[in-house]
Amino acid sequence: MRIDGISVEELAKILADKDSKVQLIDVREESEAEIASIPGFKLYPLSKYESWRDRIKEELNPEVETIVICHHGIRSANMCQWLISQGFQNVKNVIGGIDAYSRLVDPSIPRY
C-alpha cells in the first residue's frame, strides 16, 4: 500500500489557508503534544488506539483530505495505512513529522 507524503512546507501552506478543508491528526503521545504541537491537529495517540478506533469514523469524514503527523513520520505512516484500510480516501503523511516542521518552517515549536 502506497502512502502519499506531504512536505512540511506544503503543510504550512495548507495551514495558512483558512478556507482549507482538511482533517489534521497527531498520533503522538499527550506528553509529546504538551512539549510541541501545531494548532488545529487533533490528538489520537497510537498507544490509546483501543479508546478511539471505534469512533474515528464518527469524528472524522473518510472523504475529506486527512493529514497525519507524529515526531518523525513513522507512527503517522502506520496511522495512514490503518486509515486507508478503514476507507479513508485521501490520506497524507507529514514527511519528517513535527521535528522537520520545527526545523524548516516554525522554529518557535520546541524540538525534543
Nearest-angstrom CA–CA distance, 35 and 52: 22
Residue 56: is it exposed, middle or buried by C-beta count within 10 angstroms (0-12/13-18/19+)? middle
Residue 39 identity (one-letter amino acid): P
70 labelled catalytic? yes
Catalytic annotation, pick one of 6, 8, 38, 70: 70
Distances (CA, A) of 23 to 26, 66, 92, 97: 10, 5, 10, 16
Whether 56 and 86 have beta carbons less than 8 Å apart is answered as: yes
Catalytic residues: 70
